[in-house]
Structure 1
Amino acid sequence: MKQPYSPRSWSLRKKPIASPELLVGTAILAVLFNLIQGAKAQAYPDYSSIRYQLLDSYGGPSFFDQFNYFSGDDPTDGYVTYVNRGTAQSLNLTSATDTTATLRVDASTPNPSGGRNSVRVESKNTYNSGLFIFDIIHTPYGCGTWPALWLTDGPNWPNNGEIDILESHNHGSHGNEMSLHTTGGCSMDGGERRQSGTSLEGNCDIGSDGNAGCGVTGDLGTYGVGFNGGGGGVYALELRDAGIRIWNFPRASIPSDINDGSSPDPSSWGIPLADFPSTNCDIGSHFRNLNIVANIDLCGELAGTSTHYTQMYNCPGSCTDFVANNPSQFEDAYWEFGGIRVYQAS
């Protein structure tokens, strides 16, 4: 019985027998197939509307009851001592009222031994996806500071990923930097991105570019004095299989569906500040079991380097000497939150 016509089954010995017209036609079909497959691979993800319902609310006097205080050695070699909850409360480094929650650097103790006291808190609850709304009244800044608000699974880093929602250093006047840090196989190169921020490195792999991650920067009003001066605002993070998006809304421009807290709809908010689509990154496999983390590091592998401490911001002397000898310079080194809400898809 004659076998069906199938170029895939041809032996090398039989291929020269095929006619030139047939070979040309086959080549054209192959090119078209590859173009179609390439277009599919590069297609922008579907960010269509998801209905969200409230899952967790962090606010009021019980704000810090929902967090653990990290008090181990700083993994990034900062000149900092992260204190436990009892010490933080006795030194007034964390406090909460009906409307605000504050995390501070010690701005009174001169010449601390081994690093200035500060705080790093990590949510007790973990998340694989969701919509995170951060009402932020004040962001920390000042020479020697390295603050961040982020999501990660610390004990399993980097396997479960890291999402930096707000991160800056020293005076913080270069704007907010949002970034992803992952294991291999996650990249923002080669696909469409719809965002108002400026893209930096494209490879999210921690083994690339000295763990720079894949970052996006905002303008000067997205962090520090520029952000604080308008009464702060809201940062919103959407984490879903289609991708990761981050919005920044100044206090006077917060969408009504965020203010009323009922069922916020990111599809109605317009272009985000940062867009990390799933085009070349399987979001679900790279980001899971994530805690909300807020901290204020000092010096360390970023803020204390000469490139950032001296050259970018012209901060005085060495970073560790400045941090040790100038406690009053850390009066603006504090986070102040109006609250945090986490929504899940209903």
Structure 2
Amino acid sequence: MHLPTTLLLLVLSQGFPVDAQFSAGHIVKRTADRFHTVALKHSAGLARDIRTAFKGMLVAQPPVRVSVGITKPYCVSSKSGGVHSGFQPATNGTNSNPSPTTSGKPGKPTGTSTSSGASPSSTFTSDWKLVQSYAGNSFFNGWTFWDQPDPTHGTVQYVNSDDASSGNLTSINSAGNAIMRVDTTPQVSGNRKSVRIQTNFSYTGGLVVLDSVHMPTGCGTWPAFWSNGPNWPAGGEIDIVEGVNDYTNNQATIHTNPGCNMPSSNTNTLDISGSVVGGTNCAAAQTGNQGCGVRASQTNSFGAAFNSIGGGVYAMQWDNSGVSVFFFPRSSIPADITAGAPNPDNWGAATARWPASSCNPFQFFQDHSAIFDTTLCGDWASGVWGATGVPGQEQSCAQRTGVSTCEAFVANNGAAFSEAYWEVKSVKIYQTK
């Protein structure tokens, strides 16, 4: 992404942090949102969106195309985008994906199948069928480990599967949960090691359910769980969990080709509990790669606050009604999810929703894979190192740490990243029967 010269000079001269989180929200947050609005006006391309712009272009088309339960026709480009990330075609079916290896060559089968999740209780009925599950000792089967330089300019070195395991950056703990860590060596001369993984399985339409106990948090961190298609932004991108530093409120965002919009920014009209940030045009090319995002109202939906309640469940629904993101704290996970028979119609208002009425979900999104990553600093977390005004960031990281730059803090304070880890119970992907 390139910023127009005049706007770039204006951003630099005014000293505003480049952060897509700084945008107009609810009127009741007038003071903080005034700062967000000013920052938005002075930035043609926000720093977090530099990340999504580059990361999407570097993802090659996944090997398995699944289109279960789709009633609307859609077009899929045959081109693969950007740098190949190590995918190999599956031999057959949806459960024959290769396991991740250091070279990306096929390995043993995933060991997951449509019968690997919880059996639906007779009390619940669901139109959603489990087609892929990642949980327990086999969690890391069926993912490709990204081991290339971070496209978002983070001070991380993503490592392959073998190095992640031998370096204790990935493991399965005593509770049977998957762990993905950042290296905590006290001082490093280069980049800190971290993990980024992407499913070999791909899907067009579906219900992606993440059950996480803990997510990375702390100054300098930038974790995300997201869903992405080929030929960014043609295949679309859905950011399900994302934030930086000590933020407490999650932001969900979509990025698309021109023609996808939110019909309104009014929360009642959208039937959402979150706040629209950054406008209603979701086209990357027309919004400086910003897309259209929604910030959650729940102050325990991200970071340390999320971890303190034992985490919870995120669900991304993609069907003929559009795309929606739901969040449930650990104490209020719907029983139908626990029973393996999810029924989104009973879940109430979503945190974020992009209705099909103004964004055809099978025209603007296709062939997605799910991705975890944790970068450090980079275009977003580093860009707001000295900023305040977002929930959880009432004091800047520069003030909190006493270190003037994110990069210096990361290099010299390994112990500060003891909380920079994902602990995931499961990722389950459902599609309509």
1:242 maps to 2:321: yes
Cα deviation, 1:131-183, whole Å, max 9, x if unaligned, reads: 11110100111111111000013x5222101100000001123x100000112
Q: How many residues are treated as equivalent by the alignment?
A: 292
| CA apart distance, 1:188 | 0.9
Alignment of structure 1 residues 40-51 onto 2, 5 Å: 51=127
For residues 274 and 226 of structure 2, the distance between their equivalents in structure 1, rounded to whole angstroms, comes to: 18
Tell me the residue number matched to 2:214. Answer: 138
User: Could you tell me whether the CA contact under 8 Å between 1:64 and 1:96 is conserved in 2?
Assistant: no
One-letter amino acid of the structure 1 residue matched with residue 156 of structure 2: V
Residue by residue over 1:200-242, the C-alpha shift from the partner in whole angstroms, topping out at 9 and shown as x without a partner, is: 1211111234322210111311111221111111111101132
Query: Matches of 1:184 and 1:79 in 2, distance apart?
Result: 33
Distance 2:339 2:189 in 1: 44
- Residue 30 of structure 1 corresponds to none
- The aligned residue for residue 301 of structure 2 is 222
CA distance in 1 between counterparts of 2:304 and 2:152 reads 25
Counterpart of 1:212, as a letter, is Q
More divergent stretch after superposition (204-213 vs 288-297): 204-213
Aligned with 1:158 (options 208, 230, 233): 233
* Higher strand content, 1 or 2: 1
Alignment of 1:17-166 (within 5 A): 51-97=127-173, 99-113=176-190, 115-153=191-229, 156-166=231-241
Find runs of 4+ consecutive structure 1 residues off by over 6 angstroms. Answer: none
Where does residue 410 of structure 2 map in the other structure? 323
- Does structure 1 retain, via aligned residues, the 8 Å contact 2:165–2:171? yes
Distance in 2 of aligned mates of 1:163 and 1:235: 13
Residue ranges of structure 2 left out of the alignment (5+ in a row): 1-124, 398-402
- Tell me which amino acid in the other structure corresponds to 1:259: T
SS of equivalent residue, structure 2 residue 293: strand
Q: Which runs of 5+ in 1 are unaligned?
A: 1-48
Q: How far does the alpha carbon of each residue in 1:300-333 deviate from its partner, in whole angstroms, 9 at most, with x for none?
A: 111111xx21112422311111111111110111
Query: What secondary structure, in the 3-state scheme, does the structure 2 residue paired with 1:64 have?
Result: coil
Amino acid at match of 2:231: N
CA distance in 1, matches of 2:254, 2:189: 33
- Matches of 1:317 and 1:208, distance apart in 2: 34
Match of 2:351 in 1: 273
Structure 2 SS opposite 1:328? helix
Listed one character per residue, the Cα deviations across residues 183-209 of structure 1 (whole Å, up to 9, x for unaligned) are 211111448311001111211111234
Larger radius of gyration: 1
Hey, what's the Cα distance between the residues in 1 that align with 2:260 and 2:371?
A: 22
Confirm or deny: 8 A CA contact 2:264 2:270 kept in the other structure. no
> Contact 2:241 / 2:251 at 8 angstroms: preserved in 1?
yes
> RMSD over aligned Cα, in angstroms?
1.6
TM-score by length of 2: 0.65
One-letter amino acid of the structure 1 residue matched with residue 274 of structure 2: G
Contact 2:169 2:195 (C-alpha < 8 Å) held by counterparts: yes
Contact 1:145 1:296 survives alignment (8 Å): yes
Shift of 1:50: 6.8
What's the offset of the Cα at 1:271? Answer: 0.9
- Counterpart in the other structure of 2:362: 284
In structure 2, C-alpha distance between the alignment counterparts of 1:131 and 1:76, rounded to whole Å: 28
Higher RCO, Cα 8 Å, sep 6+: 1
Q: Is the 8 A contact 2:218 2:420 kept in 1?
A: yes
- SS of 2:150's partner is coil
Deviation string for 1:50-69 (max 9, x for gaps)? 71111111001111112100
Please give the alpha-carbon distance, in whole angstroms, between the structure 1 residues aligned to 2:264 and 2:425: 38
Q: What amino acid is the match of 1:72?
A: Q
Separation in 2, partners of 1:99, 1:208: 44
- AA at the equivalent of 2:188: N
Tell me the residue number matched to 1:171: 246
Q: Secondary structure at the match of 2:379?
A: helix
Identity of aligned residues (%): 39
Structure 2 CA distance, aligned partners of 1:63 and 1:89? 13
* CA shift for structure 1 position 335: 0.8
| TM-score normalised by length of structure 1 | 0.81
Partner of 1:267: helix, strand, or coil?
helix
